[in-house]
Structures are given as C-alpha cells and as structure tokens.
Amino acid sequence: MEKGSGVWRIEQSGSTVPGIGLVLGEGMDARGVVCCQGGVGLVKGLLALTDLGEGGSCRVMEGEFRGSVMKTDQEFTLVIEETHDGSSNHIFKAAMEYLDSHLLSVSSAQDSPKRLTVGKSENIRKFTFGLDTHSKMVDCFHGVPLKWKFNADVNTTNINQQHTSKSRWYELSFQKNHAEMVKSKYIPHVIDMVKKLKDQNRIVKFHTIMRERWSSNAVKLDHPMTFDTLALDGDLKNTIMEDLDSFINVKEYYKKIGKVWKRSYLLHGPPGTGKSSLIAAMANHVNFDIYSMNLSIVNFDSSLEYLLLHVSNHSILVIEDIDCTIKLQNREAGEQLVSLSGFLNAIDGLFSCCGDERIIVFTTNYKDKIDPALLRADRMDKNICLSYCTALLSSNWQPII
C-alpha cells in the first residue's frame, strides 16, 4: 500500500456473500451507500462514484463483505505477505517472531487474542507462540496502538483441487498520522528486537575441524557453566561480563571508527585454573557458537584462511595452547606448516573483515612463551590472568566437608 492511501471496509447486513475489499487512493470520495447484487457490480459502482473507471488505480482483494460502505480516512493498513518478489519476505518472518515474544505479555489485556498456536524447535531454547488464523492483537510503541492481524488462505492451483498452497499474511493497522513513525522507527525496531531474541533463544553449538574444514556435524553445547556458577573473583567476573555486554551492543561505534567488529581475549594461567570453564560461561552468556581451532592439524596458511572465512558471525573462535601451536620462530610457508606471519595476517588482516560480531579467545599456560607480536595491545584487547582458587573463594562455591 502506498503512503497516503486509506482503507475502505465493505459490509452488507444479513448473510455474507462473496465479494471484494478495496484499497483506494487518497482524495477519492465515495458519497453514500452502494446497493448492488454481486461483487462485480459493487466494484463498478464504487469505481463510478470515485470517477476512476474500471481501469482506475485500485487494488482488489478477494474476500467477503457485509453491506454498507464505511471509509476510515484516518487509518492505514500495511499488508505483509509471506513472500515478496518470489522469495521469502524478511519482514513477515520478523513480524512472526516479534509477535511471538509479545503474545503472552498481552494475554491479560481486554483486546488480547483468544487463540494461540504453540510449538518448539530443536534449535531454540523456549516454546514459541503465534497468532492463530484471523486472530488479532494490539502492540503499543511509543504510546501508539498498533493493531496486528494474522490471515491465512488456501489456494487451489487446478480445477480438480489436487494441488493447493497456503497464503499467509499479516495486516498492520494504525492511525494515518503515525505512518512515518511506523516506517522509520517501528518496523526497524521489530527487526532489531527479533535479532536480539534469536541470539538469546538459540542453542549454542560446538564446531570442530575435520580434514582442515569445519565439520558439518556441529554438536549441541550443553556445558552447564555460567557466570553465576563460575568460581571467579567477583570483580574480575563483573569486568568480563560488562566487557562482553559492551561489545555486543556497540556495532555502530565500531562502524563509526572504521574497525572490524571483533574482540580478542587472552586467558593465561597455570593448568587447571578454569580457562575452559570461563570460555563456556562466556558462550552461554552471549549465546555464541564455539569454533574450536586446533592449529596442530592445520597444515597450510591457505587452509587456515579458509577456516577463518567460514567461521559464522555471532561466534567465539577458541585457539587453545597458543604457545604450543605457534612457535617462536616465524616459520615459512614452504615448510608446509602454518607460519606465524600467516596466522597474524589471518586473524588481524583483511581476512578478519569478512565477518561481524566475532570473539577470539586464546589460551596458554605460559604467557612468556608467546611471541610479542601476538600480544600487541591493538591485537589482544584483554589479558585475563587466572589463578587457583583461594580457600575463601572455594568455600563460597563448595561447602568444606
């Protein structure tokens, strides 16, 4: 629907009969009630009243009507169909997931939907809810009521009715004076909220390397460690959590200063001080997949580049025992091993630009064995030293027997 149009509702008292609904352009005037026998006659009558003729600018939608013509000048209705230009409609999917997150919160309201659908996928943590066919709900954004309605219809593709398809669409209705706000703020808000909801609800997966490629069979990461259960100094724990939260919320800042949206951590300390547990807590906190890169089985710089190019966005790349896999000397590519220079170029050169919102975590038991080039301040954002629990810290998490 183009900006400036109004919605016409067509009703007929008594029994319902097949008819049509019209969306007419702004400034078109229908004067009075149109009486007719059928849908086609009503179309012609309305077109005659608006001086459009049958070839006028209008959109005809199949439906049912009840009788008198009622114009709602001050209301717009956006039709958000499931497909757009032959492919899936991103806004339709966003609307479905956005409304899912709001349905239960409005269930006690007077105009709340009376019928909901419910389901669950293996790739998400929670149940998902949806509007049933022809159900409605009202969302409130910046104090403005926005009315949603879900519709579905079955289409028959041949006369024998053997092949059918289902059309689904949402209708979003609002007052005319809020059209610009809906376009510039509300719809982008819906899309942004859906992205955050996906990140919160999706199941964290663990990826490993097989024959110098990421395995296609990623496994579900069921590690129970969280920052609530992690035995770590309180101040350090809060610092790490705040740093992670800040990173995932500053996309525009990175874009403004021309930096790749990634962050690097070095976890160092004696064996058994909880480096792997901290990584699991970080992954569960931000709901990022973990890509575990064992450099000892990567034989070429080109293989390393391929692997880094195929790490997904919103993920944590883990390179453990970096002091053992990247030697002090700058090995040449001719030795058919990953060179230090090739490694640094892969994680911090142009290859690092091919992705967003990535975290790289390096671990080592011996920080002094790592080449200073890797520890450079603008390459390693945070150094986190982990040590064994003190008696006081241990007693906070595990009762002394």
**Residue 249 pLDDT exceeds 90:** no
Using pLDDT thresholds of 50, 70 and 90, give the confidence band for residue 206: very high
138: helix, coil or strand?
strand
DSSP assignment string, 163-187: -EEEEEEEEEEEEGGGHHHIIIIIH
Higher pLDDT, 120 or 397: 120
pLDDT at 359: 95
Minimum mean pLDDT among 152-156, 185-189, 204-208: which range?
A: 152-156
pLDDT at 60: 35
pLDDT at 276: 93
Minimum mean pLDDT among 196-200, 239-243, 334-338, 344-348: which range?
A: 334-338
Strands 219-220 and 262-268 turn out to be unpaired
Rounded (5°) CA angle 208-211-212: 70
pLDDT at 350: 79
Conformational region of residue 26, where left means phi above 0, alpha means psi within -120 to 50, and beta covers everything else: beta
Residues 1-24, mean pLDDT to the nearest whole number: 36
Query: Which range among 59-63, 170-174, 331-335 has the greatest average pLDDT?
Result: 170-174
**Residue 67 pLDDT exceeds 60:** no
Higher pLDDT, 193 or 5: 193
Minimum mean pLDDT among 180-184, 216-220, 276-280, 290-294: which range?
A: 216-220
Report yes or no: 142 and 188 within 8 Å, Cβ to Cβ.
no
Using pLDDT thresholds of 50, 70 and 90, give the confidence band for residue 1: very low
Higher pLDDT, 185 or 35: 185
Closest C-alpha among 301, 313, 123 to residue 218: 123
Report yes or no: 367 and 380 within 8 Å, Cβ to Cβ.
no
pTM of this structure: 0.59
Report yes or no: 145 and 138 within 8 Å, Cβ to Cβ.
yes
Q: Amino acid letter at 158?
A: N
Closest C-alpha among 204, 188, 200 to residue 90: 188
- As a whole-number percent, the residues of the chain with pLDDT over 70 amount to 68
DSSP assignment string, 63-96: EEEEEEEEEETTEEEEEEESEETTEE-HHHHHHH
pLDDT at 84: 85
**Residue 18 pLDDT exceeds 80:** no
**Residue 244 pLDDT exceeds 80:** yes
pLDDT at 398: 56
Beta bridge partners of 19: 63
pLDDT at 395: 54
Q: First-to-last CA distance in the chain? A: 71
Closest C-alpha among 311, 309, 275, 308 to residue 387: 275
Could you tell me which residues come within 8 angstroms of residue 325 by beta carbon, excluding any fewer than 6 positions away?
294, 295, 296, 319, 338
pLDDT at 154: 77
Could you tell me which residues come within 8 angstroms of residue 212 by beta carbon, excluding any fewer than 6 positions away?
297, 298, 299, 300, 303, 306, 307
Separation CA 189–CA 185 (nearest Å): 6
**Residue 376 pLDDT exceeds 80:** yes
pLDDT at 71: 41
Token pair recorded at residue 218: 């990623």
Eight-state DSSP code of residue 390: P
Report yes or no: 82 and 168 within 8 Å, Cβ to Cβ.
yes
Handedness of CA 310, 311, 317, 320 (dihedral sign): negative
- How do the domains of the chain map onto residue ranges? 6-72, 78-201, 205-393
pLDDT at 400: 44
Using pLDDT thresholds of 50, 70 and 90, give the confidence band for residue 126: low
Residues 277-291, mean pLDDT to the nearest whole number: 93
Report yes or no: 287 and 204 within 8 Å, Cβ to Cβ.
yes
Residues 31-47, mean pLDDT to the nearest whole number: 38
Higher pLDDT, 398 or 129: 129
Using pLDDT thresholds of 50, 70 and 90, give the confidence band for residue 75: confident
Query: Which range among 122-131, 280-289, 328-337, 386-395 has the greatest average pLDDT?
Result: 280-289
Separation CA 130–CA 115 (nearest Å): 9
**Residue 326 pLDDT exceeds 70:** no
Helices and strands in the chain: count of H runs, count of E runs = 11, 19
pLDDT at 347: 85
The CATH number fitting domain 205-393, selected from 3.40.50.300, 1.10.10.10, 1.25.40.340, 3.90.1310.10? 3.40.50.300
Separation CA 143–CA 309 (nearest Å): 44
**Residue 264 pLDDT exceeds 90:** yes
What is the chain's mean pLDDT, rounded? 74
